[in-house]
Structure 1
Amino acid sequence: MSTNIVQRTTIIIPKSSELQFHEKVKIDKAYSITLPSTIVPFKRQDRFTIPIARILKDVSYESHLLKILKDCYSFRLQFSKLEDYDSSIFGDVASPGLSVNFIPQIADDSAGVYETNFNKTITAINQELKKLLYADINDESVLFNEFIVTPTALKYFEPTNEISYSLKKSIEDILEKSISTDFQYLEISYDSINNSDKFMVQFYWADVMASEDLIFTKKQDYKTEVGIFTIEEKLTNVDNTGLAGVRFVLDNSDDIVPMKTSFQFTPRHRTLLDISYKNEFIKPIGLHPKYKLSLHNEKSETPLQPPLLIQPANLIPEQADSTEYCDLVNNLDVCKLYLSWNLPKDFFMDKYQLKDDRMKETGLNLIGLYGETNLELPNYLIKKWGSEALFELNISQAHLPSSSSSSVPTFEIPLHSRYSKPMQNITSFETKIPYPNLFWACDLTIPIETFTSLGAAFIKEHGDETSIILSKNPYSRIISNFEQELQVLQKSPFHHKFLGFESYFDDNTVFYHIQPQLDINSDTNNQKLTFDLTIPVADLNDFNNVHIITLLVVMFSGFYILKKLFH
């Protein structure tokens, strides 16, 4: 089995720059290719695949990342910038900030020792992750917020906009090359549960401005594939992406020659362009912020639903009325609208309040709330980083503002801020909350099974029993359409389904992501994906006054009660 590192670099250039860009590509057939510097921004994804045996052999055990991997069955680290960027082509979706999901590997899981070994493993991973993410912190007393337990993994999250030097160094040691940290997205993953012996590192740059030439050279124990593509508009829509261009393969066997390549792929994660959401916190914010989300449809003549449900008219059988067909598909619950949200420990949700029938009547259905849900503890006594919530949103039950001329479905989610430790000369502090992730999740098996059953019933009623074959099914073309989508779903060259919110859904699910309406940050000219909230906090200078006033009130109240009792 090969132990080579495989690097695949995919570059997406604008169609208008295609000819000029390709003319300047320099090829040394025996050694390298050079891509020209350009003033036109392009998109770039680098994916490195490394056999885990190579890492265990060549990387020092001083690597904090390696020590973590050694104690995990599965591991996924995702870092996504806190500013908005276009990820629609490669389908890299993560909550803004740093997320770590993992499944620990327990050496001995037999009865009687499992809990002890589990705690030892978690403690070890906790310490190594602290060193990996906070390399410059040598003080062992510094609190590292611990993991929460979700249905599929243990999880750590932090709304940060940069990675540590220690993490950067660990990646460089494994890849055996230096890396820059100006990327918008980073992913590190390893999965031994599904018999994968590969370790994967992935980078994504949304807008690269190459001020210098990009040089790719042949390297011992490395296989590099470089693809330069443009988007084929005729083959591209919300559900599919078509690419055309050239590829180069750099290894130790053959000369480097350009290979014309074109293909179409179906991403699991898709971005809706005509539907968006506006989110805000209702003012005044105070200790009990209320989050408000409203859906907006740019094309008011189309339904507020993912395009998967809107099948082409030529696929609808003559025997079925198109209106009846649309009603049928909508009632199948093929697609459901979800909101996934990571909340730092400064805030919490009251699960009892959210599960109240009055909340469900507003279209808000709490599916799961994982992590720190204690209703009383202040934030300085919370050990875990916070909590993760998953909601199902029912548009038909959503609030429709009477002041609006159009139907704008609106949802409100109550939050609560934890009491913070009093500070000297400070009455409030600022904290960040990342935007939630809003998406439709669509199960492709539901329409396949339903239309197969409907078609069989139709054949039984109208067809000749001796010729009941699939081609007689009036819904066969629709069934085939969904089946083809299901088949190609697993073959995306740019994304793989793994730990994180997508692991809460099965492999037959596609996601349609709804983008937020953004405000531009005046300082950086970036569109940020976080809320900056101001939370009240007690001022230590007021301690004596509060103490004396409280004591006087208690004494007066006690005296008043005694007076009434013995009057």
Structure 2
Amino acid sequence: MRERITYVQKLGDSLEPSAVTVDSSGISGPEVHAVREDRLTIALDELPPELRSLVTDAQDLHIRWVSAASYELVSPLLARLPPGFHLFYSPGRNNSVSNKLCSTLADIFGEISCSTPAKSFTDLRNGRFQYFQELGGLTHLIEYAKGRLCHPADDNGCSARIEALSTAGSLDVSYETSQNVLRITALWPYQRRRVRAASHPRLRTEVGILSTDKPKTLEAHEVGISGLLTVLGQDSKPSPTMFSFASRHRDAESAFSARFLAPTGLHPTLQLRLTSRSPRPLSEGEGGDARSCHPYAYLTLPRTIFADKYQLSDPLFLASKNLAALRHTTQPVDLEAPEYAMSQWGSAILVQLAPPEPEPEPAPSSSSASRSRGRKSGGDGQDGAEDEWTAEIPLHLRYLAPTRGGYATISVPYPAVFWACEPEQEGAVAFPPNPFEKAHLGYDGLFEEGTVFWHVQPRPPPGSVGDGLLVNEVRVPVLDVEKAGWVNAGTAAAVAVGFAWIVWKLIGVHLRHGYGGGVEREEEKVKKRQ
């Protein structure tokens, strides 16, 4: 079992080796503004039996949980997914999907509502399956982990570390047959935190206090890292380090917000508001050509709401919404089924956005030019209004189960928004692995190898519903169970009246003409005319 604890600071931040204390108990240092990432690598024989049987039945298994709270990340830990519980799964052993998967996930994570993979999962691509649902927190997992991994007689801070998952921004659990180990990675958002890690005799722990760097030798496609590294129980002091690596997840240095336009009705429209028309580093000439990149929104939609792929195939309609194309949607998507009749989790779509062309500016006078330059430069560090633009994604609600009051509220997580810069030549070489690599995100497999993703930070507007959560709510009209009796009685009465009217008309025809009489007289009229 190996552990890696990393504090990642922003560019320009650093910590002197003299500020860090290393001894037999562990490492300690001052407070720093940083993202903390803990990664635990576990061999299969060290896993509990139920987990071991679960992963050995899979070719690869990737569980991603993302908090709905809005938080900040720093390079190179920038890859994002919509808030909620994500699972990407490839079956092993003769491509048979284990029916134990859903029950085991429910035991570990709690409120997992899938029944069996065959009924609840969707086919992603190349024999891989996908599952998603909203999951507000990791309370059940924390209790499960404390009971399986911590021993009351020899705790050594185990319970406290596991309980710290309640404030984590994301949690990843990944297994691949090729590596034959399980990796658990927890990430805490960028904020002020104290450098601290304990040493354990049976656990190799490496601690890094790092920050992004830009040495002169750095290539445009690389990320530079510098800082301090320490192996607890082995090193007596931290060692300075500097390295660089190619990274496919980069910072677009822009933000977006999402909201449903009012009134929502049964066909709500999700509006995305972005603060930039292109990744700012590219527009400044760093790392490529902005013209070869396109913005995308990746949505994971619960079964209560869906997108109509036929509606999103009309070029004129898409252009009116600042959309370019529907790049991907999970299959099949039933356009008529009510929510309570569905077994699949929902659907995921990848929509290519289309930034509007900037309006040409009139030639300014010398005095107005200086004012214009001041507005564009944004002396307060904020984006100018001329860089903002919106895109609208039409969605459709399903009929929901009856409830008291006649209304139900559903929630839809924020999408992941990014710019994808695909390689100009086919067959480009994939990025080599790096210490902070994150793959199997659902949308990354929909692009060519070698694609670079420039991530846009989600940022809810002030005063948004949900106290800044990355979730939008929709109030849906449904059948009121308290009035359902009148509806049933009224429907039965309408059917009875309609049936009686039809019978009355048939009886009237029979009394006037008899059975078949009308047909016989028509035949006589035809014979007379002949």
- Amino acid paired to 2:344: K
Quickly say closer, same or farther: Cα 1:242–1:387, change in 2 above 3 A: same
Distance 1:171 1:102 in 2: 26
- Amino acid paired to 2:342: I
Quickly say closer, same or farther: Cα 1:410–1:60, change in 2 above 3 A: closer
Cα pair 2:80 2:416 within 8 Å, conserved? no
Task: Give the drift of 1:551.
Answer: 4.2
2:8 is aligned to 12
2:134 is aligned to 159
Task: Give the drift of 1:6.
Answer: 2.2
1:453 is aligned to none
2:396 to 416, 432, 441: 416
Task: Give the drift of 1:186.
Answer: 0.9
2:419 to 420, 423, 440: 440
Distance 2:168 2:487 in 1: 50
Task: Give the drift of 1:75.
Answer: 0.7
Cα pair 2:298 2:351 within 8 Å, conserved? yes
Task: Give the drift of 1:296.
Answer: 3.2
1:60 is aligned to 48
Quickly say closer, same or farther: Cα 1:408–1:9, change in 2 above 3 A: closer
2:38 is aligned to 46
Cα pair 2:74 2:190 within 8 Å, conserved? no
Task: Give the drift of 1:246.
Answer: 1.6
1:430 to 390, 409, 413: 409
Residue 62 (structure 2) pairs with residue 76 (structure 1): yes
Quickly say closer, same or farther: Cα 1:295–1:563, change in 2 above 3 A: farther
1:96 is aligned to 83
1:323 is aligned to none
Task: Give the drift of 1:423.
Answer: 1.8
TM-score of the superposed pair, with normalisation by structure 1: 0.71
Task: Give the drift of 1:101.
Answer: 0.7
Distance 1:415 1:241 in 2: 38
- Amino acid paired to 2:206: E
- Amino acid paired to 2:472: F
- Amino acid paired to 1:427: G
The SS at the match of 2:330 is strand
Task: Compare CA radii of gyration and give the structure with the larger one.
Answer: 2
Distance 1:196 1:538 in 2: 52
Task: Give the drift of 1:145.
Answer: 7.9
1:291 to 233, 253, 270: 270
1:519 is aligned to 461
2:442 is aligned to 500
1:130 is aligned to 106
Quickly say closer, same or farther: Cα 1:364–1:542, change in 2 above 3 A: farther
Q: How does 1:95-114 map to 2 (within 5 A)?
A: 95-105=82-92, 107-108=93-94
1:395 is aligned to 355
The SS at the match of 1:154 is strand
- Amino acid paired to 1:264: S
Cα pair 1:348 1:372 within 8 Å, conserved? no
Residue 502 (structure 2) pairs with residue 550 (structure 1): no
Over residues 398-452 of structure 1, what are the superposed CA-to-partner deviations in whole Å (9 max), with x where a residue is unaligned?
A: 99xxxxx95865432221111112123x221222100111212112353x99xxx
2:185 to 190, 197, 202: 202
Cα pair 1:337 1:441 within 8 Å, conserved? yes
Distance 1:564 1:237 in 2: 86
Distance 1:214 1:228 in 2: 11
Distance 1:547 1:281 in 2: 33
Distance 2:114 2:274 in 1: 46
Residue 191 (structure 2) pairs with residue 216 (structure 1): no
1:475 is aligned to none
Cα pair 2:88 2:440 within 8 Å, conserved? no
Gaps of 5+ in 2: 152-157, 360-384, 510-530
Quickly say closer, same or farther: Cα 1:427–1:25, change in 2 above 3 A: same
Q: How does 1:217-256 map to 2 (within 5 A)?
A: 217-220=199-202, 222-232=203-213, 241-250=223-232, 254-256=234-236
1:36 to 20, 23, 29: 29
Task: Give the drift of 1:245.
Answer: 2.1
Task: Give the drift of 1:520.
Answer: 4.3
Distance 2:235 2:358 in 1: 61
Task: Give the drift of 1:88.
Answer: 2.9
1:478 is aligned to none
How many equivalent residue pairs?
Answer: 470
Task: Give the drift of 1:99.
Answer: 0.6
Distance 2:357 2:207 in 1: 49
Task: Give the drift of 1:544.
Answer: 2.6
Cα pair 1:345 1:372 within 8 Å, conserved? no
The SS at the match of 1:128 is helix
Quickly say closer, same or farther: Cα 1:445–1:367, change in 2 above 3 A: closer
The SS at the match of 2:82 is coil
Aligned identity (percent) is: 25
Distance 1:97 1:406 in 2: 33
Task: Give the drift of 1:515.
Answer: 2.8
Residue 225 (structure 2) pairs with residue 280 (structure 1): no
Cα pair 1:245 1:260 within 8 Å, conserved? yes
Over residues 81-106 of structure 1, what are the superposed CA-to-partner deviations in whole Å (9 max), with x where a residue is unaligned?
A: 1012122321242221111111011x
Quickly say closer, same or farther: Cα 1:359–1:123, change in 2 above 3 A: farther
Distance 1:246 1:408 in 2: 39
2:299 to 314, 324, 341: 341
Quickly say closer, same or farther: Cα 1:499–1:532, change in 2 above 3 A: closer
Distance 2:356 2:229 in 1: 48
Cα pair 1:398 1:410 within 8 Å, conserved? no
2:310 is aligned to 352
TM-score of the superposed pair, with normalisation by structure 2: 0.76
1:87 to 73, 77, 81: 73
1:149 is aligned to 123
RMSD: 4.1
Cα pair 1:91 1:494 within 8 Å, conserved? no
- Amino acid paired to 2:130: K
Distance 1:175 1:507 in 2: 41
Cα pair 1:306 1:512 within 8 Å, conserved? no
Over residues 211-232 of structure 1, what are the superposed CA-to-partner deviations in whole Å (9 max), with x where a residue is unaligned?
A: 7x72331522x32211112444
Over residues 220-268 of structure 1, what are the superposed CA-to-partner deviations in whole Å (9 max), with x where a residue is unaligned?
A: 2x322111124446779996543332211235xx443321112334432
